[in-house]
Amino acid sequence: MKENVFDVLMYLFEKYYMDDDNPVVPERDSVQQELSRAGFPLKEIDRAFNWMEGLASVPSAPAMQATRSIRMFSEAEMNWLDTDCRGFILYLEQMGVLTPASRELAIDRAMALEDEYFDVEQMKWVILMVLFNQPGEEAAYAWVEDLVFDTMATGLH
Q: For the full predicted model, state whether its pTM sits above 0.95.
A: no
Hey, where are the domains in the chain?
1-57, 68-157
Of 106, 47, 44, 99, the residue nearest 80 (C-alpha): 106
DSSP state of 38: T
Q: Give tens-digit pLDDT for 9-41.
A: 988 888 877 665 555 667 888 889 999 999 999
Which residues touch 145 (CB under 8 Å, ≥6 apart)?
Answer: 128
Q: Give tens-digit pLDDT for 82-138.
A: 999 999 999 999 999 999 989 999 999 999 987 778 899 999 999 999 998 888 888
In the predicted model, is pLDDT for residue 156 greater than 50? no
Distance between CA 52 and CA 89 in Å, rounded? 20
Q: What is the 3-state secondary structure (H, E, C) of 6-28?
A: HHHHHHHHHHHHCCCCCCCCCCH
Q: How many CB atoms lie within 10 A of CB 111?
A: 15
| pLDDT at residue 12, rounded to an integer | 86
